[in-house]
Structure 1
Amino acid sequence: MTGTVGPLEGRVAVVTGAARGVGAAIARDLWSRGATVALLGLEEPGLAAVRDSLPGRARCWEADVTDETAMAEVADDVRRQLGPVSVVVANAGLAEGGPFAESDPATWRRVVEVNLIGSAITARAFLPQLRATRGYYLQIASLASIGAAPMMSAYCASKAGVESFAHALRAELAHEHVGVGIGYLNWTDTDMIRDADRYAVLRELRAHMPRPARKVYPAEFVARRMGRAVERRSAAAYVPAWLRTTQWVRAAMPPVVTAVSKRVLPGLERRSPFEATGLLGAGGRADAVGRRHPE
């Protein structure tokens, strides 16, 4: 009995933020489905480690997704080395926490630049190839795209932005048969989330969420759902699946979040004064180092 050929067999897939966490897990999942994977990110050693774990069908490029010139060059190089791209997963992202008024303006801006502007630059760089292949663009978003939370203003603003961007892009490209999907993720077991739990304000805020909403999911579990969405060219994919129901009540979420925050935040601040976290996780530290010491 011969195996069936999957829809990604022989296709070229690009994943940004692929050196670690969700990006690395998605790259591995797409590779397991037969794709040749182009790994993009800032951390060359991490990218190389992921590449080496995917023998024969993976290469890596070190690039900042907010650098338009670099991303255009990478897109051309991927096409020359691997062939035209059929899938792009815009996953690269940063997060920081703490009160908006006390946040570092440059750090706050950088989160928005990477998460929102970096996604748009990624799409712009690879759209000519996606048009040629009638491919699929998957934008990694978040529960934060649907319902904003206090102490995460930059992250929530940027993720709401990428959701809106993906909706607009889908409408623009539908007649060209280019698919655009949105991956809505909740808490995922990455170094970014583990780092967030070191800060009392973010740890306590997650603890006050309803029990299902504060569960943390393994990156590999999330990646399998995203890989399935890519194969199906889904307009939306939710991890966990119940997250879809938040779309039905999203208009009611801001006043509820405000009421809960008004009640909970004063007590949290008395126990532990709020402070800005800076960029979270190893990816955030790598981004900060890369900007201090550009090549």
Structure 2
Amino acid sequence: MREPVLRGRVAVVTGAARGVGAALARELSESGMRVALLGRERATLHAVARTLAGEAHCYAVDVTDKAGMARAAEQVADDLGQASVVVANAGIAATGPFTTADPDLWERVVNVNLLGSATTARAFLPQLTRTRGYFLQIASTAAFGAAPMMSAYCASKAGAESFAQSLRAEVAPQRIGVGIAYLHWTSTAMTQDIDENPVLVALRASQPRFAGRVHEAEQVARWLREGVERRATSVYCPPWLRLMEPLRPLFPFLVARVARRALARMDTAAIERSAGVLGTGGAADWQHGHVPPGP
């Protein structure tokens, strides 16, 4: 039986249209929370909302839009009440060489993954202060060691981790908890080409077999929900990642060494052909450009 620590409270999940965000929204809803789903795709958000066990409201907003996020926070408070849990999950990824990458796409990845998380925190911290709530930053093992051909994603996830660590110390006097979730290979639209994209194939091939296992979004969401219940400072998805923490100082050296060997074997033409944004969500975000969501 789940502990009723979340029942009756309000949760906000960004990037809730699909993947881990949608799965976590379901987990939190089944725990008795009222859920606010935030994302750019209104119709997809509503489709997710219809699968939830309890009350849910959808807000079509770009997490990098400061004014839009401020309005969304006000609407959440009016519709559902003050947020007790906020999950900065929205994120996109792109692959390809830095030197030939579309600069706008590169910056968009950083803006969504890092600045979008900061904008989310800024918009909802007043509510978390009142509820003595919990902010969960979704990071990645990309923060452990930066892989080539994914410079924007790795930089943004490392930055998001550092942001959350700094924020944790700042808001501790207000009794706000801040957690960081480290996700490894997860089955979402972002990794739908995991067996075809040469960059993703090479990254998995360079890891031990157990580390290359792909976990379903629903399982990852269960680990995240357990972390939310515990107000955990760190959530590891999968849990064995906790054992890697003492080795983190070695990862940049190890990743660089393995990467040099892998790049020497990779087909540069295939890398160029596969370069670009990953997954349905990333493509939808990129296609939206800078146009605000419709009514």
Tell me which interval the TM-score lies in, with the shorter structure as reference length.
Answer: over 0.9
- In 2, distance between residues paired with 1:198 and 1:234? 35
Superposed CA RMSD in Å reads: 1.6
Shifted more, 55-64 versus 268-277: the winner is: 268-277
DSSP 3-state at the match of 2:32: coil
Residue type of the alignment partner of 2:149:
M
Q: Report the alpha carbon displacement of residue 53 of structure 1 after superposing the two structures with TM.
A: 1.1
- In 2, distance between residues paired with 1:43 and 1:71? 15
Aligned to 1:228: 226
CA contact (8 A) 1:38 1:59 kept: yes
Question: Structure 1, residues 251-271: CA drift from partner, whole Å, max 9, x if none?
Answer: 111111111122221111368
- In 1, distance between residues paired with 2:103 and 2:92? 15
Q: How does 1:71-220 map to 2 (within 5 A)?
A: 71-220=69-218
Matched, 1:239 2:237: yes
- In 1, distance between residues paired with 2:182 and 2:192? 19
- In 1, distance between residues paired with 2:199 and 2:33? 41
Q: 1:170 to 1:292 in 2, by over 3 A?
A: closer
Q: Report the alpha carbon displacement of residue 56 of structure 1 after superposing the two structures with TM.
A: 4.0
Residue type of the alignment partner of 2:261:
R
CA contact (8 A) 2:2 2:31 kept: no
Residue type of the alignment partner of 2:68:
A
Residue type of the alignment partner of 2:239:
A
Aligned to 1:282: 280
Q: 1:257 to 1:282 in 2, by over 3 A?
A: same
Question: Structure 1, residues 128-154: CA drift from partner, whole Å, max 9, x if none?
Answer: 000000000000000011121111111
CA contact (8 A) 2:197 2:274 kept: no
Aligned to 1:291: 289
Shifted more, 151-160 versus 205-214: the winner is: 205-214
- In 2, distance between residues paired with 1:89 and 1:292? 23
- In 2, distance between residues paired with 1:42 and 1:99? 27
CA contact (8 A) 1:19 1:50 kept: yes
Q: 1:7 to 1:273 in 2, by over 3 A?
A: closer
DSSP 3-state at the match of 1:14: strand
Q: Which runs of 5+ in 2 are unaligned?
A: none
DSSP 3-state at the match of 2:191: helix
Q: 1:270 to 1:159 in 2, by over 3 A?
A: closer
**Sequence identity percentage:** 55
Q: Report the alpha carbon displacement of residue 202 of structure 1 after superposing the two structures with TM.
A: 2.3
- In 2, distance between residues paired with 1:271 and 1:126? 45
- In 2, distance between residues paired with 1:225 and 1:150? 28
> Which one of the candidate residues 37, 43, 49 is aligned to 1:45?
43
Residue type of the alignment partner of 1:134:
R
DSSP 3-state at the match of 2:181: strand
How many residues get paired?
Answer: 293
DSSP 3-state at the match of 1:141: strand
Q: Report the alpha carbon displacement of residue 106 of structure 1 after superposing the two structures with TM.
A: 0.5
CA contact (8 A) 1:96 1:276 kept: no
Question: Structure 1, residues 89-139: CA drift from partner, whole Å, max 9, x if none?
Answer: 000000001111111111000000000000000000000000000000000
Residue type of the alignment partner of 1:125:
A
DSSP 3-state at the match of 2:105: helix
Q: Report the alpha carbon displacement of residue 291 of structure 1 after superposing the two structures with TM.
A: 1.3
